[in-house]
Structure 1
Amino acid sequence: MAGPSILDVEVEELGSDGRPRAVFKWDSMTGRLQMSILPSITMPKTGTSLLHKCMGPFLPAGYPSTVTPDYTPYQIYDSLQAFASTIAGLLASRAVFVGMGVGSEDASLVTTMLLYIAQETIGRVATILFAHQFSQRIEAEVKFYRFFADIVNDTAFVLDCLSPAMPTLGRVVTLCVSNACRAVCGVAGGSSKAILSAHFAKAGNIGELNAKDGSQETVVSLVGMWVGGFVVSRVHGTAATWRCLIPLLAFHLWANWKAVRSVRLSSLNTDRALIFFRGILDGQLKGLDQVGEEEIILGWSNESSGLHGLYPCRFRVGVGLKNLVMTMNNRASHQSQVSGDLVQLFRIFHEEEYVLWFDIETREGIILLKDTATGTTQARSLCHMLRCCIKIQAPTNPPVDAEDVEQDDRGPRSRRITLAREPGEKLHMVQEIMDATEHQSNVSNGRQRSIQLLKDTLYENREQWSRIRDQAEQAGWDLDLTNLVKGHATRIRLNAPLQDKKVK
């Protein structure tokens, strides 16, 4: 008997959580479509299944497979901080009402309305100014601004509780500053939450994640209001209010700190990039968890450089050509020297999407980004700059002390000048001219050493970058999301050919 002309087809139906619900099979022999319900979806009514159903309205579909692993600890601590913040907010609101004279016969409706208008005006102006000045920095430093938002929010609570003890003018100023703090919290907190939602949404379900997060906050705030109402009705007097408020604010900040510390971002900002590439250049591959543990949220570090074990090195990414020229001018005596070094620098980096200048003497790095630069370009340029830092601080190149530079076989220069004064003033002037010439020679030599260092490290960076990029991707890092620019970014475009011309 001849075989079937139509092949058997089996289709598996998946639910919104990604789990199979049913199987449809086309039987070519009978010509019928058969459906079978998978028994795995018929769950017994146990405590676990009931809890799952109750949590369904507050968790994204397919949880936990549709979110990143750090979503759960973050949401737990975020709910705890929201609970404490709601209670503290009620205590602060009561203090504001007392300061406005609510319940007092001397209270003036017009005065209260004018105070409200003043608060709203200051708050909205603060919103505009903060968003204009810091909006471009939030994405790169999302953890910092998420925690910073709660710091200024708690500051607003403290100011509200201080306002009743202030004179009339002081109360107005205090409440206006308090409202400005809340406005800053709204911008920083709202923006950082949106960025974190995009990070948590592994399946691209950002809209659902935000909606479910709103449901969670609603329930937590509602419970917090019930508990806060009980607390406010039992706590009376200034001293009792502060005894209750301070532990709540401390718990609020602790929960926020734990929440942001639990997040494991796959993008590289300045601090994460320094930790990761410093490890790579030392032969250690660090993943998201390792870097997250070492990352500094508030910018506090034992190293003044922030380069994790290196001597102080300063650097800026995404600045303009003017900043580079000013930096190079500080080490040059003539404008022609800067122009020549700039042309030489652009020739070195004409095939790259960035331009790096690293001064050996001042240990200052300047990274210019071309108009074609991407996030990966920023990561590559920082890796190059770290190579320069490590090279000059190797045992063969110890940090140079200013006094050591001025000393030779005849002793310190200050002693030579003193001896030169004895024969006469003219000899002293000659010695000063010689010293100035020697200083310019040292500066010129240092600039040439900087350029040679850039050439050597650029070759190394090119040779090893493919391997470093592959290792970073294997460790879970997305180099395309790298953002090292703080504030407004500036790009450059080279319109003139800079390749060396051959003489015919």
Structure 2
Amino acid sequence: MRPCARQRANIVCSHMLARQKLLTPRQVSRVERIFERDGVLRWCDGGIVGYCKIGVSFGTLLDCFGRAHDKTRSRRVSSAPLSALLDVFDDEPYILWFDLPTETAYIVLRQGCNPQSQIEAWCHALLVARKLSGAEKTGANAELVSEETCIGTIRDTLPAVHAAFETYGPRLRDVGWNLDVASLETRSGCRVSLSRPREGEQ
């Protein structure tokens, strides 16, 4: 059932973002695919724009910025982009990163992230993947450019996701969607608790 929930989230969120249209469960059931790859991010036109993993560990996120050594498990992490990413999500119940080489979004859930916030996180991943789908990945500075592009896109799309759920969130319930059940994780995922020193703190 949970992979179906992800497909439904794609359909509902992409129509909401692209067409400002809310679909009912009955309408969604008419366009659902019988067989769908788990974790796929698909836009309302039917095109695949990427993939998503939700409830991943913070270590999985760190791997995107610097792989762990096989034996020591130590990492050399590119700290500037990671710090910029954490700044974007300082007050959010999740952290999102989109890995351009694999076209995969990774969602880290914070302690207390409720079911509706998980849906918002998935919606955010879908919108980011849509914006970055087919982005240029070649050239001498491809790694730097892609990190800057990803962070900029993630930051710039966050207000649109907030606005969409402020406008349509209550109406989703009215048309028959249950936003109180955590159904996007295929198994119980990780939760992280992060606190960073504020400016002036040691």
- Report the TM range for the smaller structure's normalisation: 0.7 to 0.9
SS at match of 2:15: helix
User: How many angstroms does 1:470 deviate by?
Assistant: 2.2
1:356-367 alignment, distance < 5 Å: 356-367=96-107
Judged with a 3 Å threshold, the aligned counterparts in structure 2 of structure 1 residues 355 and 326 are, in CA distance, closer, same or farther, namely same
Which one of 460, 479, 501 corresponds to residue 160 of structure 2? 460
- The residue type paired with residue 155 of structure 2 is K
Residue of structure 2 equivalent to 1:377? 117
1:24-63 alignment, distance < 5 Å: none
Q: Count matched residues.
A: 191
On the 8 A contact 1:361/1:446 being kept in 2, the answer is no
Residue of structure 1 equivalent to 2:145? 445
| Sequence identity (%) | 23
Which one of 129, 150, 156 corresponds to residue 389 of structure 1? 129
Q: Point out which structure has higher relative CO (alpha carbons under 8 A, 6+ apart).
A: 2
User: How many angstroms does 1:317 deviate by?
Assistant: 0.2
**Which entry has the higher C-alpha Rg, 1 or 2?**
1
TM-score (norm: length of structure 1): 0.35
Query: What is the distance in 1 between the residues matched to 2:34 and 2:128?
Result: 26
Residue of structure 1 equivalent to 2:174? 474
On the 8 A contact 1:310/1:389 being kept in 2, the answer is no
More helix per residue: 1 or 2?
1
Query: What is the distance in 2 between the residues matched to 1:336 and 1:286?
Result: 42
Structure 1: 4+ residue segments shifted above 6 A? none
1:490 lines up with 2:165 in the alignment: no
User: How many angstroms does 1:360 deviate by?
Assistant: 3.8
Question: Could you list the per-position Cα deviations for residues 395-448 of structure 1 after superposition, in whole angstroms to 9, with x for gaps in the alignment?
Answer: xxxx2576xx45xxxxxxxxxxxxxxxxxxxxxxxxxxxxxxx2xx22111101
1:321 lines up with 2:58 in the alignment: yes
Judged with a 3 Å threshold, the aligned counterparts in structure 2 of structure 1 residues 452 and 346 are, in CA distance, closer, same or farther, namely same
User: How many angstroms does 1:450 deviate by?
Assistant: 0.7
SS at match of 1:491: coil
User: How many angstroms does 1:458 deviate by?
Assistant: 1.0
1:278 lines up with 2:51 in the alignment: no
Which one of 267, 287, 300 corresponds to residue 24 of structure 2? 287
- The residue type paired with residue 146 of structure 2 is G
Query: What is the distance in 1 between the residues matched to 2:41 and 2:123?
Result: 15
User: How many angstroms does 1:471 deviate by?
Assistant: 2.7
SS at match of 2:64: helix
Residue of structure 2 equivalent to 1:73? none
1:310 lines up with 2:47 in the alignment: yes
- The residue type paired with residue 329 of structure 1 is G
Question: Could you list the per-position Cα deviations for residues 291-312 of structure 1 after superposition, in whole angstroms to 9, with x for gaps in the alignment?
Answer: 12222344369xx945142344
Please, what is the CA RMSD of the aligned residues?
2.7
On the 8 A contact 2:40/2:52 being kept in 1, the answer is no
TM-score (norm: length of structure 2): 0.82
Query: Gaps spanning 5+ residues in structure 2: where?
Result: 68-74
1:351 lines up with 2:85 in the alignment: no
Query: What is the distance in 2 between the residues matched to 1:362 and 1:479?
Result: 30
Judged with a 3 Å threshold, the aligned counterparts in structure 2 of structure 1 residues 460 and 502 are, in CA distance, closer, same or farther, namely farther
Query: What is the distance in 2 between the residues matched to 1:306 and 1:450?
Result: 17
Judged with a 3 Å threshold, the aligned counterparts in structure 2 of structure 1 residues 468 and 347 are, in CA distance, closer, same or farther, namely same
Judged with a 3 Å threshold, the aligned counterparts in structure 2 of structure 1 residues 478 and 364 are, in CA distance, closer, same or farther, namely same
1:137-176 alignment, distance < 5 Å: 140=2
